């Protein structure tokens, strides 16, 4: 009979040899991912995480590579591969870890978090649910389940999981902080700013008493300052976040998001430009910056950043759908300017962006409707457009939804 302990050790040694070969192919550096907030306690891994969050990118990459090249538990090697951007290998290693430790709920939780990172929300929820079957009070599993369910229409279930995190006496402070951040973000999205301020105060008290990272709280403070027109305070909060974590692109991306949903598109773009400058591997910030450029009719710049996002994160369905749209956008659409030639300052008043196969049929109706609407808007609100009004008409409803 083969000794089981020897069998596991042999498996890990073979696995390490394979990973050493794979590690030589990893050249993109450490990828953007969320702070662990105390979810794991492996000293070697946490050393790498600390190097990353303190802005020591090269040292962090070397640290993660060292984990891969030496004998470590597969779940820890999975974390290193995840940090280095190899999500497929990370998934395989988590699977091996679960086979070796079927009663370890945190392996399932971290697998669920990985699936959240790849936008597979139902599969992620299934992993969190499995973890809760092993440990019904696992706060990290409840937190993951809440975030997975928040992508659908399950507010009661989401709240039940969040309540489990907040009310159970043994919930780790890091999990409770994540729950508070989720609640703060939700209140801000719904313009419930007074409640958001109260929750943010709770989050600060928790973070300071348990010495938790606060860069996300600073980013939320910056967002609130922006929404409340306290623009002179915005940069102060962002700078405080970056002092704590110099490569934290979300210090700008989070205010960029709230500027976007409140329709301050110029300002949103400026935030996202700073985000990708600080953290070039923040693929979601590239996507949001690209979409923002497209809103402002900066088509080429928009396409560039959407493409960067796609090349860095091919899992994101929003990026994939946007890439498909932009392929048709570039090839199948034409711009028509009115009046032609432009009058006065040489800038057209109206631009129609139409599918070239529909131009002859749609143009007269679209122009008449657009110019009539512009005149009504100007008369009602006393506002005269200073730039061309751009009207896009899509032949496919799905493309319109993506746009």
Question: Of the candidates 388, 343, 387, 335, which has an alpha carbon nearest to the alpha carbon of residue 363?
Answer: 335
What per-residue confidence (pLDDT) applies to 341? Answer: 76
Q: Phi and psi at residue 115, in whole multiples of 5°? A: -70, -30
What is the residue extent of each domain of the chain? 335-402
Beta strands 333-338 and 350-355, pairing class: antiparallel
Copy the structure tokens of residue 138: 């696992």
Dihedral, 277, 278, 279, 284 alpha carbons, nearest 10: -60
| Nearest-angstrom CA–CA distance, 199 and 353 | 45
105: its two tokens: 């709920």
Torsion angle in degrees (nearest 10) through CA of 361, 363, 369, 370:
150
The whole-angstrom separation of Cα 193 and Cα 170 is 30
Q: What is the pLDDT of residue 28?
A: 60
* pLDDT single digits (tens) 192-220: 999 999 999 999 999 999 999 999 999 99
> Which of 17, 35, 16, 8 lies closest to 207 in space, CA to CA?
35
- 137 within 8 A of 130, measured Cβ to Cβ: no
Residue ranges, the chain, pLDDT below 70: 1-28, 344-346, 397, 400-402
- What confidence score (pLDDT) does residue 348 get? 83
Report the alpha-carbon distance of residue 105 to residue 208 in Å, rounded.
28
Chain Cα centroid distance, residue 96? 28
Predicted local confidence at residue 2, as pLDDT: 25
pLDDT at 401: 63
Global pTM value: 0.89
- pLDDT of res. 36: 98
């Amino acid at each position: 009979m083969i000794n089981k302990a020897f069998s596991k050790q042999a498996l890990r040694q073979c696995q390490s040899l394979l990973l050493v070969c794979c590690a030589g192919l990893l050249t993109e550096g450490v990828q953007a991912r969320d702070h662990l907030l105390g979810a794991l306690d492996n000293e070697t891994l946490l050393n790498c995480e600390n190097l990353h969050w303190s802005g020591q990118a090269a040292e962090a990459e070397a640290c993660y590579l060292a984990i891969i090249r030496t004998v470590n538990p597969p779940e820890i090697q999975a974390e290193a591969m995840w940090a280095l951007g190899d999500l497929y290998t990370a998934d395989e290693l988590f699977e091996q870890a679960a086979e070796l430790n079927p009663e370890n709920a945190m392996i399932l939780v971290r697998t669920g978090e990985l699936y959240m990172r790849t936008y597979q929300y139902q599969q992620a929820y299934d992993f969190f649910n499995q973890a809760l079957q092993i440990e019904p009070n696992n706060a990290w599993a409840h937190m993951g389940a809440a975030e997975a369910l928040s992508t659908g229409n399950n507010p009661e279930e989401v709240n039940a999981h969040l309540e489990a995190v907040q009310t159970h006496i043994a919930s780790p402070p890091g999990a409770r902080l994540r729950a508070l951040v989720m609640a703060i973000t939700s209140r801000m999205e719904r313009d419930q700013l007074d409640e958001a301020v109260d929750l943010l105060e709770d989050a600060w008290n928790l973070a300071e008493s348990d010495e938790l990272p606060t860069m996300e709280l600073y980013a939320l403070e910056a967002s609130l300052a922006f929404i409340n027109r306290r623009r002179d305070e915005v940069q102060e909060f962002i700078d405080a976040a970056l002092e704590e974590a110099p490569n934290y692109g979300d210090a700008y991306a989070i205010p960029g998001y709230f500027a976007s949903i409140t329709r301050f598109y110029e300002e949103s773009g400026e935030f996202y430009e700073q985000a990708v400058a600080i953290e070039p591997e923040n693929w979601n910030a590239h996507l949001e910056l690209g979409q923002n450029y497209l809103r402002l009719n900066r088509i080429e710049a928009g396409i560039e950043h959407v493409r960067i996002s796609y090349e860095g994160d091919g899992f994101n369905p929003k990026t994939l759908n946007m890439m498909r749209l932009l392929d048709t956008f570039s090839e199948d659409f034409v711009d028509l300017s009115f009046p032609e030639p432009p009058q006065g300052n040489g800038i057209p008043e109206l631009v129609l962006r139409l599918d070239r196969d529909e131009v002859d049929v749609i143009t007269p109706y679209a122009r008449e409707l657009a110019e009539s609407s512009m005149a009504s808007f100007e008369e009602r609100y006393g506002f005269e457009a200073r730039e061309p009004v751009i009207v896009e008409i899509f032949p496919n409803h799905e493309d319109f939804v993506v746009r």
